Amino acid sequence: MRRTYGKSADPAVWRRFILAVALDGVLFGLAMRLRIHFASPLPSLQPARWFLLGLCEDAGVLLLAAAAAAAFARGRIAGLVARAFGAFVLVWCLCAFLLGEAIVYFGHPPRAEDLRIAASESFWRFSIGPAELARAGAAVGAVLLLLAAAAHLAGRGRPAAVPPGGLATFGAAALALALVPVPINLAATARNPAFAAAALSRSIEAGRAAGGPQAAAPTVPLSAIREIVANPSRRRFLDPLFPLAYRPAERSAAAPRLPPGLRANVVFFVMEGVRAHEIGAYGGSVPGVTPNLDALAVAGTRFDGVWSPGTHTPEGELALWYGLLAVPREIVMTLHPRVSMTGLPEILRRAGWRSFLWIHNSDQTFFGEDRFFLPRGFRMIDGRDFDPAEPRTNWGFSDRTLARRAAVAIDRMEEPFAAMVLTISNHHPFQLPSDAKTQLDVPAAEERGSFHVPGWRDLVGGPTVPMLRTIHYTDEAVGDFFDRVRARPWFSRTVFVVVSDHGLPIAPLEGISSLHRFAELRHGVPWILYSPLLPARPAVPGPSSLADVPPTLLGLLGVDLPASGVGCDRLDPAACDPERPVFSWNDEGEMLTIATVSRVFHAVIAWERVSGGEGGSLGEEMLYDAGADPEGRRDLSLSEPARVREFRKLARLYLGVYPWLVNHGRSGVPDAAFFEAGQPSRP
């Protein structure tokens, strides 16, 4: 080996090594696509074309690079060039591994919007656990073995030498085949690192050219946005310049009420990433996952068909406190923390509520929520205030620790109060905290992972079973919290809202059959309202939005001050139009969903530079009858063009008016000083 790979080695050996390494890169790319196909939430419906696209892209890029390396691998520098090419392929394979891991988790390649979160060092530190490190180590080991095998084969005269011109011809042919404009379902998930990086670079440059994702000024009157609210015909709107502001209508006799004169406390218990799909009360197929949530749903009121407005925690919080939807491509709490808006904090404070609390067992600075909540009069507690000796995972202290700390913190609040308790344990990489009472028993047959290696399920298994176990753990924390506060004096005067911030892009045990089901799992969340002041009630049918929570609470609490938002009082049968639209924005997939009681519309959005900022245009559109076709197998967009046009109009209003409205402080009431000074600031 010393003679073969010394400084005077035959350049032909190095050229064989270069070819072998290039083929190893293609082989590794094939392995990564097998993992993506079998482990990602949503595989391509055209797997043969999908695999061929990825194979051609890999072969094109790697063979062209190999041709360039082989052309320079001459004389004394042949070994240096070959080793440099080997290092290039090593980096290429590691990038392919990271790209595959992102696709397996999110269901799509990384986008410019994802980089804002991924740029945080804490995101990587919190997200990487033993299983992720083990997979990364296995990937590095596999690539090193492939490089060693390439060196061994090259020294033995294999593979047969191919001149640089031949490599270039094969590479160019493969690349030309990859660039043929043939429609392939989910083609973006088959891309190799070079093509994915090019798409990401174009997205970043487009954002820079526009000065960031700035919403363009609306081209229609602001009042047009009222078409997206729950029941515009029943709203008493206040001002066309603040088109979402209204004075609540009188509640119908069928709506439940609290005892007259009581200012009840409000406690949000917000669960990180817990989907309705896994909860027994919502029809979860795995028994015993959520006994505490199931009991609360029986004792209180369960809301069915609830959609989260976005896919990030601050978007759920914005809906719960302010009744607002997600702003596409922006996180309002992070980018516009001091923008004027009107919600529960302002309205309840004006109505006599005395104290507000936000408590979380992770880090409030991750999304910069402290800059949003502190100026609005909240006391904030996060993981930095917890005892370091308490059990924790990568993302923060355990949910059971949070339940204990939250009970003590709420004890010290002045009534009437409003508090939000926000969990973290059900977050990727789904680590079960050490203080778990039990570990959910999932049958061994269901422990399906990415690679079926006997005895290695926990190491290379998929995230579904770990997610089920952390959901079960969060349910334990819900039970702990209610066991602790039930004896508190304030418990009997409190309304509890148990809800989730968003869903997760994790395939359930039965898999995902369509993009429609993927959207439901990404946005479908539980909403349970429980209070010792109220009797149990039948489930409220959907669709509902987390943006419905504030008007529902204000109606229940008997507060009729001017309010704002797009939601409606879901406990008042007269308040919501049965065909009202419910909007959800998937920031990672850049897909808009509009759900009504009879149809669900999905549209993938393409962004373009327009006058004054950026605008979104509708790309691929889909329409489903969620009642008759819950799996989303029959797209009705061609057979029901009139319905598609109706949804398209609503989508354009949401994309073209709503972001500007929120970012320019027009989402609240017209007299912003009303709640501070007690008098209008303008006619």
* 119 has pLDDT over 80: no
* Mean pLDDT estimate for the chain: 86
Lowest mean pLDDT among 83-87, 187-191, 294-298, 501-505: 187-191
Task: Express as a percent the part of the chain with pLDDT over 70.
Answer: 87
* CATH code of residue 557: 3.40.720.10
Residue 1: Cβ within 10 Å count: 8
> For residue range 405-416, what is the model confidence (pLDDT) as tens digits?
999 999 999 999
Lowest mean pLDDT among 98-107, 109-118, 451-460, 648-657: 451-460
- Sorting pLDDT into bands at 50, 70 and 90, what band is 211? very low
Cis geometry, peptide bond prior to residue 429 (ω within 30 degrees of 0): yes
Residues forming a β-bridge with 449: 461
Query: Strand runs (DSSP E) across 323-399, as ranges?
Result: 355-360, 379-381, 392-393, 396-397
Please say which residue of 134, 160, 182 terminates a domain: 182
Distance CA 477, CA 467 (A): 15
- Sorting pLDDT into bands at 50, 70 and 90, what band is 616? low
Give the model's pLDDT for residue 523.
97
Residues 521 and 453 placed together within one structural domain of the fold: yes
| C-alpha dist (Å) from residue 289 to 28, 150, 403, 450 | 38, 49, 19, 23
- Sorting pLDDT into bands at 50, 70 and 90, what band is 675? very low
Residue among 130, 118, 50, 62 at smallest CA distance from 91 = 62
- Sorting pLDDT into bands at 50, 70 and 90, what band is 209? very low
Give the model's pLDDT for residue 614.
57
* 116 has pLDDT over 70: no
Section 231-241 average pLDDT: 87
Section 452-467 average pLDDT: 61
Highest mean pLDDT among 88-92, 109-113, 307-311: 307-311
Q: Note down the domain range covering 93.
A: 11-182
**Domain annotation covers residue 212:** no
Please say which residue of 166, 182, 198 terminates a domain: 182
Beta carbons of 394 and 128 less than 8 angstroms apart: yes
**Domain annotation covers residue 48:** yes
Beta carbons of 328 and 585 less than 8 angstroms apart: yes
* 41 has pLDDT over 80: no
What single letter denotes the amino acid at residue 672?
A: A
Residues 355 and 502 placed together within one structural domain of the fold: yes
* 331 has pLDDT over 60: yes
Residues 160 and 233 placed together within one structural domain of the fold: no
* 1 has pLDDT over 50: no
* 115 has pLDDT over 80: no
What single letter denotes the amino acid at residue 266?
A: V
Contacts of 372 (CB under 8 A, 6+ apart): 314, 333, 334, 337, 338
Residues 549 and 651 placed together within one structural domain of the fold: yes
**DSSP assignment of 9-39, as one string?**
--HHHHHHHHHHHHHHHHHHHHHHHHHHHHH
Residues 468 and 609 placed together within one structural domain of the fold: yes
Give the model's pLDDT for residue 152.
83
Give the model's pLDDT for residue 619.
79
pTM: 0.84
Residues 282 and 169 placed together within one structural domain of the fold: no
- Sorting pLDDT into bands at 50, 70 and 90, what band is 128? confident
Distance CA 289, CA 438 (A): 11
Q: How far apart are the first and last CA of the chain?
A: 89
Highest mean pLDDT among 8-12, 37-41, 444-448, 454-458: 37-41
Residues 230 and 173 placed together within one structural domain of the fold: no
Residues 278 and 171 placed together within one structural domain of the fold: no
Distance CA 82, CA 340 (A): 60
Give the model's pLDDT for residue 611.
47
Angle, CA 211 vertex, CA 208 and CA 212 arms, to 5°: 75
Structural element, H or E, at residue 388: none
Residues 133 and 53 placed together within one structural domain of the fold: yes
**Domain annotation covers residue 205:** no
Give the model's pLDDT for residue 498.
98
> For residue range 366-382, what is the model confidence (pLDDT) as tens digits?
778 889 999 999 999 98
Contacts of 109 (CB under 8 A, 6+ apart): 99, 102, 103, 188, 189, 191, 196, 199, 200
* 167 has pLDDT over 50: yes
* 92 has pLDDT over 60: yes
Residues 171 and 270 placed together within one structural domain of the fold: no
Reading the block at residue 490, the tokens are 């304030």
**Domain annotation covers residue 191:** no
Give the model's pLDDT for residue 208.
45
Number of H helices, E strands in the chain: 21, 17
Contacts of 252 (CB under 8 A, 6+ apart): 572, 573, 574, 575
Number of structural domains the chain divides into = 2
**DSSP assignment of 112-171, as one string?**
HHHHHHHTSHHHHHHH--HHHHHHHHHHHHHHHHHHHHHHHHHHTT-SPP--HHHHHHHH
Residue among 268, 248, 259, 301 at smallest CA distance from 555 = 248
104 vs 279, residue with greater confidence: 279
**Domain annotation covers residue 6:** no
Residues 231 and 279 placed together within one structural domain of the fold: yes
- Sorting pLDDT into bands at 50, 70 and 90, what band is 681? very low
Reading the block at residue 250, the tokens are 């009188």
Cβ neighbourhood burial of 12 (10 Å; 0-12, 13-18, 19+): middle
**Domain annotation covers residue 343:** yes
Task: Express as a percent the part of the chain with pLDDT over 90.
Answer: 55
Q: What value does the CA radius of gyration of the chain take, rounded to a whole number of Å?
A: 28
**Domain annotation covers residue 285:** yes
- Sorting pLDDT into bands at 50, 70 and 90, what band is 218? confident
Beta carbons of 175 and 55 less than 8 angstroms apart: no
Residues 169 and 226 placed together within one structural domain of the fold: no
Residue 453: Cβ within 10 Å count: 11
**Domain annotation covers residue 209:** no
* 7 has pLDDT over 50: no
- Sorting pLDDT into bands at 50, 70 and 90, what band is 612? low
Residue 362: Cβ within 10 Å count: 26
